[in-house]
Every structure is written in structure tokens, then in C-alpha cells.
Amino acid sequence: MTLDTSQFRNGLKIELDGEPYTISYFQHVKPGKGGAFVRTKLKNLRSGRTIEKTFNAGHKVEEAEVAELRMQYLYQDSESAVFMDNKNYEQLTIPFDRLGPARKFLKENIEVEVSLYRGKVIQVELPNFVVVEIAQTDPGMKGDTASGATKPATLETGAVLQVPLFIREGDTVRVDTRSGEYVERINK
């Protein structure tokens, strides 16, 4: 579908030079002299890079046909992860290199958003927070209560992150998947 600049809005997915972008910011500008234009910030959905681009008012662009699927992570083999569409139960195999940073927080049965552009996976988005178990960490010493002190811990998913000294193996913690940081311990 062809759109012009008057239809721009945040979150709109457009196609430029054969690449899918999402509009993260736009501003219509009407200077005293000259024609109106639209200033935008666009995020490339494949690479994640953000660019700034200016369009003349009325410029036409194509809307990117990006399919958003809610899928459940099932399991992984040596080179890829397998997801299931929650609506039709079809399975989709995604190579690890397409998962990006999401791979280190994948836990069985977690629900993710998978974006497809022209039938190819371009993005796998995890929930903002996941609850995982600590698989391995060094024990904290009694009296280690210094404010802000941390130690490395390996999660059940294989990811390593910094946690407070009071966290022990077997504890369940909430992790922010956007930053990869510890948020809080979950009491069982």
C-alpha cells in the first residue's frame, strides 16, 4: 500500500530501498520560506540501526508488509530454535544467528513476538521481563552486605549476568531482557 507523509505515525512500518523500517519519531515542519517537509527517525527492522531522514511533504512511500506472529518457544537443536504459532500450531525453525540477543533468555514455553518480512524472520522480541532460575553462582559469604556489590551468575538458559551477593544457586530471579540485567529475586 502506498502512503504519503501526511499518514506517518509512530510505529508505522515503511519500506525504503528494499529494507523495512519503523517510524520511531516524526515531525511535520512548515518553514516560513519553502515547502513543508517531514523530519523522521527510522529504525531498520533487520539491523536495529536508527537513521534520520527528511521527506518533502506529500512524498510517497510503500508500507512494509511485516507479519507479527505470537509464538511459543518449544526447543532448540544444535543450530536453531523451534517455535510454534499459537493460532494454527505450525512450527517455525529459526537459526540462532537470526535470534540475536534474545537467544540467551529463551526458556521453554516462553511466548515471543516474531516479525516476518517477505516470509523471512527479521526480529524475535521477548517479553520485557523473564523469570529464570540461577543454575550456578559462587556462594555469598556471611556478612557480605556491602551495598551494590555483585557477582556473576549463570542462568538456566546459559546466560551470565551480575547478581547481588545474597543470590544463591536455585533462586528464581526476574531479568530485564532489554538490558540483560538482574531486577529482583522471586520468592517461591
Per-block mean pLDDT, blocks of 10 residues, the chain (188 long): 89 91 92 90 89 92 91 90 91 86 87 89 88 87 66 90 89 90 86
Predicted structure pTM score? 0.75
* pLDDT of the residue at 146: 58
Beta-carbon neighbour count of residue 154 at 10 Å?
14
CATH number for region 130-186: 2.40.50.140
* pLDDT of the residue at 187: 79
What class is the 2-63 domain? mainly beta
What phi, psi does 40 have (nearest 5°)?
A: -135, 160
Extents of the domains making up the chain: 2-63, 66-125, 130-186
* pLDDT of the residue at 142: 59
Nearest C-alpha neighbor of 128 from the set 113, 109, 116, 108: 113
d(CA 174, CA 184): 5
For residue 129, give Cα distances in angstroms to 41, 161, 176. 27, 14, 5
* pLDDT of the residue at 155: 92
Identical fold at 2-63 and 66-125?
Answer: no
d(CA 68, CA 75): 21
At the fourth CATH level, which superfamily is domain 66-125? Answer: Nucleic acid-binding proteins (2.40.50.140)
